[in-house]
Amino acid sequence: MAPRNPPLSASVSASSVLDALKDSEPAPTWKDLKTRFDDHRRLRLVLKGLERTGEIQRDHQGRYHRVGESNVEGFLTGRPNALFLNDLPVPEGGQFVLRAGDRVRGRSDGDQVQVLEVVEPAAAPIIGLLDTSRRYPFVEALSPDYKGRISLTDLPADARHGDTVKVRIIGNERRGLLGSVIEVLTEDTVVEQACTTLLEAHQVPRIWPEGLDAVVARLPDEVRPAAHTKRVDYRDCPLVTIDGETARDFDDAVFAEASKTGFRLVVAIADVAHYVKPGSLLDQEAATRGNSVYLPDRVIPMLPEVLSNNLCSLRPDEPRLAMVCEMQVSSAGVLVSYDFHEALIQSQRRLTYTQVGALLEKRKPTDELNLTEPVLASLMCLHKLYKVLVKARNKRGGLDFDAHESLLELEGGRVKAIHPVQRNDAHRLIEEAMILANVAAASFLEDHDRLGMYRVHEGPEGEKLEMLTGALALAGIHLGRGKVTPERLQQALEGLKGQDRRWLFESLILRSLKQAVYSPQNGGHFGLALERYMHFTSPIRRYADLLVHRAIKAAIAGKKNPVNLETMIALGAQISRTERRAEEVGWAVDGWLKADFLKDRVGETFAGVITGVTDFGLFVELEGCYVQGLLHISGLGQDYYNYQPMAMSLVGERSGKSFTLGQTLKVRLMEVRPAQGKLDLELIGVSGKPASNKGSGRRPERGRSKRGRSAR
């Protein structure tokens, strides 16, 4: 809203400026005041004088206020780009940096708050890397609530260039935040530094609270079957665990056999809820952590290891308490019936995806694994069931992607090599069995009218859907009109079968979908094309699953809901946040380590594919490295480039030359900033040929592009 202007005043004085501020709504900026007074030099001097005497002050957006106009004070809440004071939004601005936790004074107009002063900076420190290469040392912040430089009041004697440091913010200054180093976090290797730095930066809890050791010490050393005679005994059922080679916590075991109408499937999940009681110190800490965090060199567990790696790990030949989901599945892959039991089980083998995959693909003789006949028969039946479930998934339209992911091979505290993730039928059959058990859990709780924690996943809409539609059209795939369903997206991808760049369009679809969240209110699961879905199968590492287990146990016992709706809504929001936090830490560590892996290859030439197009340049994935770098628009040649978001392209205004999603380029690696996970690239050629400004002569569509200049 433009300020209501008083009449133009030729005379600039303290009183006339104060009157102008009094009569303006909203408060004026320097630009606004220049339109009201003739003598701009005199106006600037008067404003500075009034600021010095404390009669006026500027807010974080550069608006001038008379002192005494502030009417609100408190602590900022929210997150970057979405801050609030007393539940009123604080608009983004540039006079000083604001963070959640800052104690501020401001002026409210009823709809928003203009911050006039940071009374006390947020207590939470900022984590970053120390840079002593310039005249004035600074810290490059890596915390999620602030990305930028922090000027320092002093430099610790034991701090070295590149060290991770913890900074206490003491105020704002001209270039941003001002702080003091309070701790130097030294690590011996790149992997250790990346993981420790980013865990600290994102405030992931790593230290168990006081008193928890005593709680853990009271847990039993082992499971004694004689103490659990009321449980359903599944110890004779040939259950097995199938996990990765390096897995230490085994929270699910499976068994399948043929039945008259199809299949009997048994999924046994560690009974974490037996040990972690609501409201206990264990429970409070698990809710705070929300989930385990998995990094290349470590796991930050949700529960202490005595549970996650012992009592609740379904190790072979050891009795364990479990929640068993027993299901009947038709020959068409339809879940016919299901039931849940508090059970006593004993896994008969610990198998790996590699072992079972080789067995199913007949690359390994069965006698090499020394499997009993019942276990072998179960594995073969599981494979048959998997094929049936995949057909059912395809029929309902569930999205099925081959992940374009990488695995880091570490050696000596650095990345030695980057390998593509290989998935086989063993991975897929476990995935389908877990999905079916999760569906059964949601259905069981609905049948018993109990609150549970749904996994809600909404489909694409708005601008993201428009951009996805345009990108698919580039590949000759047209979604058509009407509501977009998972089935239509999966059919679209079928048109890309066999193409090298199918993974690129799969990733575009994933980015167009909304973030999955936890909620006690069902919203369906778009990606899996399911009407109801909960997480039941990993209570060792996800608090949502623990809540679902408690609800199922209450239903079995005929008891009331253990948690009310209001609390469940709050818990859903909490664990959705911790899940995003874990993902962000994982992505940031992955980016840091991959960039560090490439830092010795600056100056080398790489083949790459355009994976993203923006108005400031191109994001290019280096082939075989699974990492993206930025090719800035200024490096595309001497032309004006128009950004066409619907075509996912940058098009030269004079030449008509275009750079488009999926296009192959040859680029040179120019600069690497490992901690930020950033690579800067230089264009060498297009599709292996030298880049040239000669093009098709096609002019960009007018009115639908953003203009960017490349001026080498």
Beta strands 64-66 and 72-75 are unpaired
Q: How confident is the model at residue 70 (pLDDT cuts 50, 70, 90)?
A: low
HEC string of 672-708?
A: EEHHHCEEEEEEEEECCEECCCCCCCCCCCCCCCEEE
In this predicted structure, the answer to whether residue 488 has a pLDDT above a threshold of 90 is: no
Taking alpha carbons only, the member of 643, 636, 649 closest to residue 681 is 636
Q: How far apart are the first and last CA of the chain?
A: 39
A 10 A CB-CB count for 557 gives 9
In this predicted structure, the answer to whether residue 262 has a pLDDT above a threshold of 50 is: yes
In this predicted structure, the answer to whether residue 670 has a pLDDT above a threshold of 80 is: yes
Residue range 315-340: mean pLDDT, rounded: 97
Residue range 597-616: mean pLDDT, rounded: 94
In this predicted structure, the answer to whether residue 219 has a pLDDT above a threshold of 90 is: yes
Predicted pLDDT of residue 366: 67
Predicted pLDDT of residue 248: 79
Give the torsion through C-alpha atoms of 285, 289, 291, 294, to 10 deg.
-120
Strand-by-strand arrangement of the 639-644 sheet = 658-660, 649-652, 639-644, 706-710
Type and span of the H or E element at 643? strand 639-644
CB 115 within 8 A of CB 57: no
Instruction: Tell the residue number behind the tokens 């807010």, with chain if given.
Output: 59
Beta strands 262-270 and 414-420 are unpaired
Residue range 531-553: mean pLDDT, rounded: 97
**Residue 672 and residue 601: Cα distance in Å, rounded?**
9
Q: Which residues are within 8 A (CB) of 293 and not within 5 positions of it... i.e. 6 or more apart?
A: 199, 204, 299, 300, 582, 585, 586
In this predicted structure, the answer to whether residue 3 has a pLDDT above a threshold of 60 is: no
Q: Is 426 helix (H, G, I), strand (E, B) or coil?
A: helix
CB 681 within 8 A of CB 667: yes
DSSP 539-574: TTTBHHHHHHHHHHHHHHHTPPPSS-HHHHHHHHHH
pLDDT top residue among 207 and 492: 207
Q: How far is CA 686 from the centre of its chain?
A: 33
In this predicted structure, the answer to whether residue 517 has a pLDDT above a threshold of 80 is: yes
**Residue 626 and residue 622: Cα distance in Å, rounded?**
6
Quote the DSSP letter at residue 308. I
Q: How confident is the model at residue 10 (pLDDT cuts 50, 70, 90)?
A: low
pTM: 0.86
Of the ranges 219-223, 476-480, 597-601, which one carries the lowest mean pLDDT score? Answer: 476-480
Residue range 497-507: mean pLDDT, rounded: 78
Token digits for 424? 């086989």
Cis peptide leading into 26, omega within 30 of 0?
yes
Residue range 688-703: mean pLDDT, rounded: 38
In this predicted structure, the answer to whether residue 64 has a pLDDT above a threshold of 50 is: yes
Residue range 365-376: mean pLDDT, rounded: 85
Of the ranges 162-176, 461-475, 535-549, 627-641, which one carries the lowest mean pLDDT score? Answer: 461-475
State pLDDT tens for residues 612-621: 999 999 999 9
**Residue 646 and residue 68: Cα distance in Å, rounded?**
50
Q: Please list the residues that pair with 649 across neighbouring strands.
A: 644, 660
State pLDDT tens for residues 388-415: 999 999 999 898 887 788 999 999 999 9
Token digits for 404? 């374009």
**Residue 489 and residue 491: Cα distance in Å, rounded?**
5
Residue range 504-524: mean pLDDT, rounded: 91
**Residue 549 and residue 543: Cα distance in Å, rounded?**
10
CB 345 within 8 A of CB 236: no
Predicted pLDDT of residue 377: 96
Q: Which residues are within 8 A (CB) of 659 and not within 5 positions of it... i.e. 6 or more apart?
A: 610, 613, 618, 636, 641, 649, 650, 665, 686
CA atoms lying within 13 Å on the CB side of residue 392? 18
CB 184 within 8 A of CB 159: yes
State pLDDT tens for residues 413-428: 999 999 998 899 999 9
In this predicted structure, the answer to whether residue 692 has a pLDDT above a threshold of 60 is: no
Residue range 668-674: mean pLDDT, rounded: 96
Taking alpha carbons only, the member of 536, 501, 604 closest to residue 338 is 536
What are the φ and ψ backbone dihedral angles of 89, each rounded to 5 degrees? Answer: -65, 145
Predicted pLDDT of residue 252: 96
Predicted pLDDT of residue 695: 38
Residue range 124-128: mean pLDDT, rounded: 95
Of the ranges 21-25, 512-516, 526-530, 550-554, which one carries the lowest mean pLDDT score? Answer: 21-25
Predicted pLDDT of residue 464: 83
Percent of the chain with pLDDT over 90: 63
Of the ranges 147-156, 438-447, 463-472, which one carries the lowest mean pLDDT score? Answer: 463-472
Of the ranges 292-306, 476-490, 652-666, which one carries the lowest mean pLDDT score? Answer: 476-490
Residue range 254-281: mean pLDDT, rounded: 97
Token digits for 698? 């096609």
Q: Is 647 helix (H, G, I), strand (E, B) or coil?
A: helix
Q: How confident is the model at residue 259 (pLDDT cuts 50, 70, 90)?
A: very high
Predicted pLDDT of residue 694: 38
CB 6 within 8 A of CB 32: no
Q: Which residues are within 8 A (CB) of 302 and not within 5 positions of it... i.e. 6 or more apart?
A: 286, 289, 290, 291, 292, 308, 540, 541, 542, 543
Predicted pLDDT of residue 704: 34
CB 130 within 8 A of CB 162: yes
Taking alpha carbons only, the member of 488, 280, 270 closest to residue 396 is 488
Quote the DSSP letter at residue 261. S
In this predicted structure, the answer to whether residue 371 has a pLDDT above a threshold of 80 is: yes
Q: How confident is the model at residue 68 (pLDDT cuts 50, 70, 90)?
A: low
Taking alpha carbons only, the member of 221, 263, 255 closest to residue 349 is 255
CB 276 within 8 A of CB 540: no
Percent of the chain with pLDDT over 70: 93
**Residue 104 and residue 116: Cα distance in Å, rounded?**
7
